[in-house]
Chains A and B, each alone.
Chain A
């Protein structure tokens, strides 16, 4: 079976700096993979490359068997390759409903505005923020805006979803809520890549971890194995982080 996403030798240079260095891995449909690494490891750059926001200096990207290297974010979104942003980016002058409807209309294949709004309402409700439909982004909390961001991602009918630090700025309870959402989205067959710092999230959610360090692929395997990998421990987790990964859930 062809992998859903295949990155081959992906490299991105900015002048003298190599932000992503010859990274290769593939994702199968239905996986939930964690993409971890310290600040500056190249995680967001990698996501930008995979979702068309940046062009690779070298390497190939294949999605559902087709070469999509060099395709634009909007082309990829329509194909089902979707991402959320670390710093949420709602359309500030549109209601929550219209924020999601925009995606439904332009990426999700809705036939017209009424259909798009209908799909949008469903997405909002799916994320538990249906009642916020007519509110503007400045008037909703950060946690709600994160859910709005997820609702927008869903409206594109994603096959593959990159979640970039979706938990940044949330408290423990809010994070649990988001995790539940992510699990239910995955249960519908969406392949998910979770870019994360938090061990708690990654441990509970992902059976596979991909570790980036200074732009290069450091490790790629089952979560428990990666946590025990001495190179990973040294570079990123530190002994304490690794220990946390091995603690059983409360």
Chain B
């Protein structure tokens, strides 16, 4: 009983800290729009990196589908709001759409391994991008969608977006922690270490992998919805940009793939670098980012927080 209680302390603490930060940080940063934006970007990246980590880190399947569900969530929410529904309904729709698509899609492609899985997951981004662009009556096609409420007070929007994304990040991390400590995380790490042996050990690998993929995708979907609300305007080439798939991976790589807090640390480090690149090297920003990522990959593929506790259940 005591052990059971203990297991919940840290995840709840994360949520509580998240709530405090969500409430206090916007006030602390008051009208410093630049810092507000940075903090919100950080929270967003932490959310996505943590979610990615469930599939890419815990399970060992290199997914590039993050952008697909991020974009899907953004559009689901934006479209709902265009039809007059509340933002909250938008978020819920985002999560549901992401889950409904990711479950069967994930189940199908998780049968593939390595490069094949990665490519199949990447293809979904292209497919959704094109379909969204083509379905212009509903999605506005290439012109994108202006979210209702986008014209409001920028500072208020910035603050609320920060709150929402900080809570989402805290939730993503706390969930990651809970999973890593429970039977699902245990099963996923066995799958990562040796899928054949895991099958023989009675682990229903297809089911567990799909569960992880679906949870991950749903979180990405909600993040997309939050992003749409924050920026106020979305279009296919923005939200279905493959960088939304790659940045969470880099963040996790830097911090330690497969660890719970690696994505958090990695997101911070990555954003600092990315910001330095963009501020100083405008035209070459992307190229410089590429150089940075290449160096990071070559120098520390194990991450800042090496996977000490990979596969362990405490």
Contacts and interface: CB of A to CB of B under 8 A. Distances in A.
Contact of B200 (A83, A92, A105, A114): A83
Interface residues of A, number: 30
Contacts of B190: 91, 94, 102
Contacts of A92: 193-194
Given A102-B190, A113-B183, A90 B312 contact: no
Contact of B199 (A73, A91, A113): A73
A94 B200 contact: no
A223 to B, nearest CB: 28
A53 interface: yes
Interface stretch (A74-82, A173-181, A198-206): A74-82
Nearest to A51: B200
B40 interface: no
Contacts of A112: 183
Given A98-B313, A113-B183, A113-B313, A93 B200 contact: no
A68 to B, nearest CB: 15
A53 B199 contact: yes
Contacts of A102: 186-187, 190, 198, 201, 203
A94 B193 contact: yes
Nearest to A156: B202
B197 interface: yes
Contact of A74 (B205, B310, B311, B313): B205
Interface residues on B, range: 20 to 34
Interface in B194-223: 194, 196-205
- The SS class assigned to the B binding surface is helix
A179 to B, nearest CB: 23
A216 interface: no
A35 interface: no
Contacts of B313: 98, 113
A83 B196 CA distance: 12
A106 B187 contact: yes
B311 A94 contact: yes
A72 B205 CA distance: 10
B186 A113 contact: yes
Among A90, A103, A108, the most chain B Cβ lie within 10 Å of the Cβ of: A103
A108 B193 contact: no
A75 to B, nearest CB: 8
B198 to A, nearest CB: 8
B199 A105 contact: no
Interface in B166-194: 183, 186-187, 189-190, 193-194
B312 A89 contact: no
A245 interface: no
A18 to B, nearest CB: 23
Nearest to B197: A89
Contacts of A51: 200
A152 interface: yes
Contacts of A152: 201
A74 B204 contact: yes
A94 B312 contact: yes
Among A72, A85, A89, A114, the most chain B Cβ lie within 10 Å of the Cβ of: A89
A77 B201 contact: yes
Contacts of A106: 187, 201-204
B193 A74 contact: no
Contacts of B194: 89-92
A73 B189 contact: no
A107 interface: yes
A82 B311 contact: no
Contacts of B200: 51, 53, 73-74, 77, 82-83, 85, 89
Given A89-B197, A106-B201, 14 more contacts: A72-B204, A73-B200, A83-B200, A85-B197, A90-B194, A91-B193, A93-B312, A94-B193, A94-B311, A102-B186, A102-B190, A103-B202, A113-B186, A156-B201
Interface of B: 3, 183, 186-187, 189-190, 193-194, 196-205, 310-313
12 contacts: A51-B200, A72-B204, A78-B202, A89-B200, A91-B198, A91-B311, A93-B310, A93-B311, A102-B190, A105-B186, A106-B187, A106-B201
Interface of A: 51-53, 72-75, 77-78, 82-83, 85, 89-94, 98, 102-103, 105-108, 112-114, 152, 156
Q: Top 6 A-B pairs ranked by shortest CB distance?
A: A107-B202, A106-B202, A89-B197, A93-B311, A73-B199, A77-B202
